[in-house]
Amino acid sequence: MKKFKTETKVRYAETDQMGVVYHANYLIWFELGRTALVDGLGLDYRQMEQEEGLLSPVLSVEATFLSPARYGDVVSITTWVEKYDGLRVTYNYEIEVGNRMCVKGSSVHVCVRKDDFRPVSLRRALPEWHRVYDEIKHN
């Protein structure tokens, strides 16, 4: 399983009065991790959206909060494709500070046409994405 890692430093604006990261910011970090994964696979979100007219909205997201990240911490976001069925992609995430696990989570996405939001198969709409994701699924 191919995993991708990226880091970010916790900014003051991402915390509450206690200096603890506000829970919704982890979802933003999931997106940072997912973007790093897509880039690391040599794929291009911008091309998918602008040239192909496709989007990849979130169908569901879940997160389990284990330990707080705080202002000034450097968080490490590890992301991988957990499941791919040709239509939906499930990404898993782990967010850590050092060796301390802060959050584990996942998000499920589907590819849709920008004009009508109807789901489309990656196999047909984005054959390169399908090839890469299908290859990951089998490794």
Q: Which sequence positions are flagged as catalytic?
A: 16
Distances (CA, A) of 15 to 40, 106, 111, 117: 29, 22, 32, 34
User: Burial of 97 by CB count in 10 Å (0-12 exposed, 13-18 middle, 19+ buried)?
Assistant: middle
Which pair of structure tokens corresponds to residue 131? Answer: 């090839």
Closest CA to 64 of 105, 24, 30: 105
